[in-house]
Every structure is written in structure tokens, then in C-alpha cells.
Chains A and B, each alone.
Chain A
Amino acid sequence: MNIETLNPKLNQRGRAEIDFMISMFGGSADIRQKADADVNVAAGDIEALPDDLDARSDIINPGLADSKAHRVRSLVGEFHAQNHADVCGRAFDEIFPDLEADLTALHNGPAALYLNPDFKEPDYWSGVDFHRTEGGWDGHPFAGYIHAEIIHRKIVSAGFPGGIFAQRKDVASRAPKSHYNKILDMGCSTAHFTQALQEVYPDAHITGVDLSARTLEHAFRVANAHGWNWDLYQRAAEETGFEDKSFGLVASYILLHEVPEVTIEAIFAEAFRVLKPGGDMIMSDVTRYADLDKLAAWKADQGALYGGEPHWRESASADLGAIAKKVGFVDVNAAGDAPRSYPYVVQGRKP
């Protein structure tokens, strides 16, 4: 199997477009610094800001009316939001003729993919352009590949010194036992975390579920490229259909902010149901608003508002530890990593 297929060499045009998108971050550093200073002035006394996030906007936004730096920063953000997926899609289309045979070959291997032609999209997911990606996770025939190997591997990774893949492996290694026979990755997407789980627990059999057919197809390629016998299902994490007491570990990484709070509780309850007694849950997601000051939470909320994240506010406001306890988990531990309280990891055990 050709692992290089999963880290593509782009043609000049696509590569340069992507490099430009990455450079926008450095090129806007001064503007962002000035805009932050203006936001700080507009916010005034942080502790005195209203608890309600929209009311906070009503206080801060009028104070930014004369901030050119804020407007230009918004422009840069909007440009990135509108263009990043298209740029990466075009870069993929350029190299697709060279990749096609290898991608087809990756349909063969030890993994199994079960797409559901009758799959009914949940309302919280249907029609949403998550991350401002037109068509959501399934907007391009190879959206999974583009998302995983170009958007994440080329652009997102550039903004996370130390690497998003190391981050996922670090969380995977925090599950309390040194060995698991069967692991369920909820919302496995394109398998960045699934891969981390497999590398940390090389003897485990991994099952993944996700709503998106295109991301599952890419997880399937990843599994086959590495010779891993994953079972991948197009199913909702909150309704997996697996038998009670099936898994030793149920995990997820960066799924929970893509669903409303009621679904988080349903996902935790489903994890509890499919875990064997004594089994572990480890779920990781974005920083809790409760761990941020009122201005930092407002900034994060603005990022969600303009970044195609309709459920972020509700999800980031939820007390994940309390939800885990509510559905029955014990020995619950929920905390964010210093210094930014990211990732926020909640663990629990089924008694």
C-alpha cells in the first residue's frame, strides 16, 4: 500500500494557493494585534461584561465601529472561511489524475466499510456547511481526502506547532488501561484520532462510526493503507446500533462541539450502553467557556459564529463532566490542558 498517497505532493498552483492561505496568518499578525487592542478597549472591564454572549456583543461591537484593524481582521477571517476549502479542493483536483489509481487501490485491504444508503441525516447535521465548507463534509466526491490530507495536513497543521497528530496521540494514550481488545471511535471522521488509537493500542480491534460517507471513505483508505482491520459504519454516535457491553474503550476527539448539548448527553449515554462493565470512556473537545474569562469566551464564540460552527456555543458551554456522571459514569475526570485549556478531556468508567 502506498502511504505517500496519504501525504500528497501538490502541483505548483495548488501548493502556492495553500501557502498563501498559510501566510495570511503571519501576514495579518500586526493587524490582529491592533484589533485585539481595540477589542480590549471596547470591552472595558472584563468582569463587568454581561453573562449572556449576545449581550456581550452588544457591548463590545459598537465600540469597534471605528476600528479599521478589526474590520480588516474580519475581512481576512472571512476570506479564509470562504476560500480555504475551495483552494484545497482545487489543489486536489489538479493532482487527482495522478492519485486516482492509488486511491482506487486503497479500496482493497483488511478494513470494512458499511455505508447506509437509507441513512437519515440528523437535523443538527443536515444541510450545515460545517467549517464554512460548502456542502459540509460531503460537498466533494473526495471531501474526506481533501479535509484530511490537504486542509488538515497542510493548513491546520501549520497553525499548531508540535502537530495536530501528536495532540491526538497524546490524548489516545491517556486512557487508563494499557490494553484494550475492542475500541469504538465515535465520530471517527477521516481517522486522525482512530489512527492515534491504533498506534497506541496496536492489538486492539477498532470500530468507527460517523455521519459522513465521504470522511468514512477516507478512513477506509487510511486503514487499508496501514493494513488495519477497522470496521467503519455510517451511523450516528448517539445511535450506533451495536449490542450492549460490546467495547472496552469508547473514545472521540473533537466531535462534541459539532453537536448540540442534548446530543452530547445521548452520545455519552450510548457510550455507557455499549461499554462493558469496567470499560472506559475518553472524549476530547474544545475549551470550555467556563474556563475562559468573559472576553476570551466572547472571542472564541465569535470564531465559532463566523467559522461555520453552529453548535459550538452550546457545546462549549456544557459541563461535560456533569453529563458523564448523569448518564452513569464513575471516576469522572474532566479538565483542559494548560495553558489554553485545550484539549478538554473528559474520562469516566462504567461501573
Chain B
Amino acid sequence: MSAPKDPTQFNLPDRETLASSDVGSLGLAVLALTKELWVLTDRVHVMEAVLEKHHLDIREEIKRYQPDDAMTAELRQESTALIERVLNALSKD
């Protein structure tokens, strides 16, 4: 095996990754990621609410926590805003 003529070419190889035909899948992946991010954000909200009540082992309580109407509205507002930001970024000219 011979050594490369210019080893620095390995520094930034011209490697093709996603093609334009992958854009649809990329968009789906971005939304999937956004959804996961939202699940975590939601979880933090719930955790804070439960911690405030107990300062104890709250894992099970978080899992089964049922937001009241006010919290549901707050979460809905924040998730809607997050989605708006992502979609606006995607559709920006």
C-alpha cells in the first residue's frame, strides 16, 4: 500500500453525504428530534411541579403525573411556540 501524495487531503475529505433527494428524510428527522426535545422539556416542567410538592423520589410520580388544565394550557402554548420556531426556520427564504 502506497502513502498518499498529499496526506493533508485527508484533513477535509470531499465526502458526499446527504443529497437533495434526502431533504424529505432530513425534514422528518428534524421533526422527530424536535418531538424528542419537546418530550424532555415537558418532563422538566413536570419534574419541577412534582419536586415543589415533595422534594423526594418522584420518578414514579412524574411518570403518572396528570397536568391540570392550567399546566396543560401552559405546555400547549410552549410546545406550539417551539414548533413555530422550527417550522419558521425550515421555511425561511
Contact = CB atoms under 8 A, between A and B. Distances in A.
A83 B42 CA distance: 19
A23 B76 contact: yes
A72 B76 contact: no
A75 B90 contact: yes
Given A12-B42, A75-B28, A76-B31, A28 B87 contact: yes
A72 B38 contact: no
B52 interface: no
Interface residues of B, number: 33
A20 B64 contact: no
B42 A16 contact: yes
A20 B65 CA distance: 17
Interface in A68-84: 68-69, 71-72, 75-76, 78-79, 82-83
Contacts of B65: 12
A69 to B, nearest CB: 5
Interface string A9-40: 10111011101101110111011001000000
Interface in B17-56: 24, 27-28, 31-32, 35, 38-39, 42-43, 46
B46 A12 contact: yes
A83 B28 CA distance: 10
Interface string B49-90: 000000000000011111100001001100111111011101
A68 B89 CA distance: 11
A9 B65 CA distance: 9
A19 B75 contact: yes
B93 interface: yes
Contacts of A15: 66-67
Contacts of B88: 30-31
Contact of B83 (A9, A17, A27): A27
Contacts of B83: 20, 23-24, 26-28
A45 B84 CA distance: 31
A79 to B, nearest CB: 5
A17 B39 contact: yes
B76 A19 contact: yes
Nearest to A79: B31
A76 B38 contact: no
B68 to A, nearest CB: 13
Output the residue of B65, B79, B81 with the most chain A CB within 10 A.
Answer: B79
Nearest to B65: A12
Contacts of B43: 12-13, 16
B75 A76 contact: no
25 contacts: A12-B42, A12-B43, A12-B46, A12-B65, A13-B39, A16-B39, A17-B39, A20-B38, A20-B42, A23-B76, A23-B79, A23-B80, A23-B82, A26-B76, A27-B86, A28-B83, A30-B87, A68-B91, A71-B91, A72-B90, A75-B90, A78-B28, A79-B27, A79-B28, A79-B31
Given A23-B76, A83-B35, 19 more contacts: A12-B43, A13-B39, A15-B66, A16-B42, A16-B43, A19-B42, A20-B39, A20-B83, A27-B81, A27-B83, A27-B84, A27-B87, A31-B88, A71-B91, A75-B24, A75-B27, A79-B27, A79-B28, A79-B31
Q: Which 9 interchain pairs have the tightest Cβ spacing?
A: A27-B83, A16-B42, A23-B79, A26-B80, A72-B91, A75-B27, A27-B80, A68-B91, A79-B31
Interface of B: 24, 27-28, 31-32, 35, 38-39, 42-43, 46, 62-67, 72, 75-76, 79-84, 86-88, 90-93
